[in-house]
Structure 1
Amino acid sequence: MSRHLLPVGPMTVPAPREEIPVAPVVETIPFAGLRLVHAAVRRDLARIPQALRLLQPDDHEGALALKRHWDFVTAMVTCHHEQQDARLWPLLRRFAPELRLLLNWLESDHHNLDQCFTRTTTLVGIATRDPASSWPVSYAVEELAARVETHLRIEERQLLPRMADVFQPGSRIGTLPELLDLLRLAEGPSASDALVWLLEGVDPIQVDRLLADCDDEIARHWPHWRDTYARCTDRLWGPAGQ
């Protein structure tokens, strides 16, 4: 059985000596990986249309950066859907059979959304090559964002509460470490790129909680990954995403 399916028991720490400070146990945020993907997709689908409208005919580097970022977002959405369809939905069908109709609809809608992303990717490619067409393409992205929002709300309102009943506290299902592990195994975005994308704009205190749940290597490299990502995206959204 995959180690991701095993519940983690409560952590017990021996009583420390007075002269040795003990760091508090960091509480895991339930299903943080799923929630972070949803938040990041919403964030970028909201700001990409404006970035398209602001494209200038001679800004070839900006157009290339925007197209590259769109491709990254599309790849993350595709990986997210594949992981849910191949890993999470089968578990829920087994342990919560009453959710099967909902899961069937969500899986079908994943295929529909993936087709929408494919069509929109073609349009974004046209707009980044010819900024004169960027305005109608920006409206197409907004239409896609509305469709995605409907899907995300159904997952969050109808599925996440039931998942809390199915998976024991401490399970890694839906967590950030599990998501990063799955990305390492998939032929898609790198875990480092995904991490900084997911944590962009997240409150620093919450970032510390999330990183504490990851392995030491990720925590050690986080400042470098964060700063590199900021240099790449500042030209798209401005410093600090403004």
Structure 2
Amino acid sequence: MTTPTQTRRRPGDPVPDLVTFLVFHTGLRREFGRLAEVLDRCDPRDERRRAVVDEHLALLLRALHHHHTEEDEAIWPLLRGLVPEAAATLDRLEADHQEMDTVIGRLSGGGRPAREVAADLRSLDRLLNTHLDLEESEVVPLIREHVSAAWWEESGKKVTKSHARDLPMLAAWLLDVAAPADRDHIFGSAPAVMRVLYRLSWRRAYERRVSQVYG
């Protein structure tokens, strides 16, 4: 019989490790506007380049949708129970997710002109950055104060596994985005098998992708 994980952080308990969570935000803030600029420069006759850009965009859209789903289904409900006075902010963040889902839906469709995709990417970039500003200023402090480190760690392990086939590329992307100290922290706390796979193949596959997408 397993013991349920303590969800509420008690005074003096360790603070949840939010490094990976916040670096993920940093990557999302960086990527969509950057891809819009790539599409502005992409030769419409270069179908191979466009296919690689679309593949990378699809990966990032899956990651963003996955991130929002985890918040809506696990993190926000937990905070509603632990911090009832945060309900209005959490309602706003969930509404933001729905608004972004509309744009993500358009971006997930294939065969659209580059200029239309670039316009939607810039719209998503604006929505996302405003959303993350609110989340990081209002909700991240609540997570640090009220959520137990054990619950956060267990939830993070489940999220990592659930990325499935996208995990190798996303792990390498995350390490590329991170500042040196955060990169060392993430890499050092990852399972040994993931560190080995990153060195053997994940990093090289990601670097090839970046070269093809960004030139």
Q: Which runs of structure 2 are paired with 1:1-242 in the superposition (5 Å)?
A: 30-122=17-109, 125-127=110-112, 133-168=113-148, 170-171=149-150, 173=152, 178-179=155-156, 181-185=158-162, 190-223=166-199, 224-238=201-215
- Taking a change above 3 Å as real, the CA distance of residues 178 and 216 of structure 1, as seen in their structure-2 partners, is farther
Greater relative contact order, per chain length (Cα 8 Å cut-off, separation 6+): 2
Cα distance in structure 2, aligned partners of 1:180 and 1:63: 34
Larger radius of gyration, structure 1 or 2?
Answer: 1
Q: 1:193 to 1:179 in 2, by over 3 A?
A: farther
Write the deviation string for residues 186-226 of structure 1: whole angstroms up to 9, x where unpaired. Answer: 6x653222211222232344312111112111122222211
Judging changes above 3 Å, is the alpha-carbon distance between structure 1 residues 134 and 87 closer, same or farther for their aligned structure 2 residues? same
Deviation at 1:51, TM superposition (A): 0.8
Contact map agreement 2:172 2:203 (CA 8 A) in 1: yes
Q: 3-state DSSP class of the match of 1:190?
A: helix
Task: Assess if the C-alpha contact under 8 Å between 1:45 and 1:145 holds in 2.
Answer: yes
Q: CA deviation at 1:64?
A: 0.4
TM-score by length of 2: 0.85
Alignment CA distance shift 1:148-1:33 (3 Å): same
Q: Normalising by structure 1, what TM-score? A: 0.76
1:199–1:207 CA contact under 8 A, matched in 2: yes
Aligned length: 209
The separation in 1 between residues aligned to 2:5 and 2:195, in whole angstroms, is 21
Seq. identity, %: 21
More helix by share: 2
Q: CA deviation at 1:65?
A: 0.4
CA contact (8 A) 1:183 1:190 kept: no
Could you tell me which runs of 5 or more consecutive residues in structure 1 were left unpaired when the two chains were aligned: 11-26, 128-132
Conserved? CA contact 1:180–1:195, under 8 Å = no
Report how far residue 171 of structure 1 moved.
3.5
- Alpha carbons 1:46, 1:145 under 8 Å: kept: yes
Distance 1:29 1:144 in 2: 29
**What runs of 5+ residues in structure 2 fail to find an aligned partner?**
none
User: Amino acid of the residue matched to residue 143 of structure 2?
Assistant: M
What code does the residue aligned with 2:87 have?
R
Q: Structure 1 CA distance, aligned partners of 2:122 and 2:16?
A: 30
Q: Aligned letter for 2:62?
A: A
TM-superposed CA distance for 1:77, in Å, is 0.8
The 8 Å contact of residues 75 and 189 in structure 1, kept in 2 or not, is answered as no
2: CA distance, partners of 1:197 / 1:4: 32
